[in-house]
Amino acid sequence: MATKRYARPPRDPKRKKRKWVPALIAGIFLLLLVGTPFLLLHLTLGQMDRHPELLPSMDGVGEDAPLDPAVTGLVPEFQRANKALDQNAAERIIYDDADVINILLAGIDYGAEEGKAHEHWGRSDAMILISIHKVKKTIQMVSLSRAAYVTIPGFWNDRLNMGHAYGGPELMVQTVEENFKIKLDGWMTTGFDSFVRIIDLLGGVNITVTQAEYDALKEVNHLTEGAAAYDFSGAQTLQYVRLRHIDSDRARTQRQRNVLNAIAAKARTAQLATLRKALMELFPLVQTNLGNMELLSFIPYVLYPVTETTIPAAGTPLSIVDLPTGVSVEVMFMDWPAVREDVGNLLFYGIAPRPYIGNSSR
């Protein structure tokens, strides 16, 4: 007798769907695990100031500039420098390559008006170019002297730090591009008063001072151990980074790079919660034209080895110039063909420049 066979009951469609539930939960968990830090970082970066106000020139700029050779006692030097700037301006080229990213960092000095950053532009008295080479896998911190005698587009010949004082970040960028022939991909600025807060938010930084620096800072920074390593507060770090007249301009720019290295070292050792809290308070103090996704795209480069240099690479002497106001300032007369050679060799590794058709900053 044949065995009776029964039809299999239809499968519950809901039961089939439930097999996807564990996978769906795992996917959501993975998305939260990976996406939450990304979202938090994205929100943190969003605190940066990307809409700087259009401000008037810094108070008193018109009284100090243009530098008048007739009252400086350096008429022949200025004549030669102005001719060299005309020749440099005629070189309508710029070094630009997809494998090189150049970000300009600037510390803005508001002088007697410190703390009134939204009343007028200030001088960019600390300028460091962060140059990332994606093929060579290197990062270079390149100091640009604030005293460099340059052409400021739309104005006159003056010191490099006055570009920001006349027209803010955009004019600062255009001044660097047209004189140094370096294409800039973005900029970030902060005031010196904000700089103090940034250091304090990180809990201070460790700085090693030389004997000359110790002698200059021992009273104001209350130092007692001679040439040694010290934990500096924000105010002490500002005194250190603004030191001048004790050595050379190259030494001063080295101090600026020392502070950047110290900030990076402190950030690497900070606890994640502490670092994020500091960044949430720090980023509103920073102005930039870089978007969140652009900044996040730089993350793969943070492990590249960092080297330091200056442009021009060779030492360039400073001249002391007396202004009609009774103030003396330092001026660096540049060898512009040598500058262009340094840019090509140090940052672009022999890549030929392209024609320059205007300010390439966004």
Closest residue by Cα to residue 282 from 198, 189, 204, 202: 198
Over residues 134-163, mean pLDDT: 92
CA–CA gap between residue 157 and residue 175 (Å, rounded) = 10
H or E element in which residue 330 lies:
strand 328-331
Chosen CATH of 53-190+288-355 out of 3.30.420.590, 3.30.300.10, 3.40.50.720, 3.30.420.40: 3.30.420.590
Q: Assess whether pLDDT exceeds 90 at residue 160.
A: yes
| pTM listed for this prediction | 0.79
Digit-coded pLDDT (tens) for 35-61: 434 445 655 667 777 777 677 676 555
Region for 242 from its dihedrals, namely left if φ exceeds 0, alpha if ψ lies in -120 to 50, beta otherwise: alpha
Domain chopping of the chain, boundaries? 53-190+288-355
What Rg do the C-alpha atoms of the chain give, in angstroms? 27
Torsion angle, alpha carbons of 134, 135, 139, 141, to 10: -100
Q: Assess whether pLDDT exceeds 80 at residue 315.
A: no
| Mean predicted lDDT score pLDDT of the chain | 80
Digit-coded pLDDT (tens) for 76-90: 888 899 999 999 999
Distances (CA, A) of 208 to 127, 142, 198, 212: 21, 20, 19, 12
Cβ density class 107-143: b for 16+ within 10 Å, e for less: bbbbeeeeeebeebbbbbbbbbbbbbbeeeebbbbbb
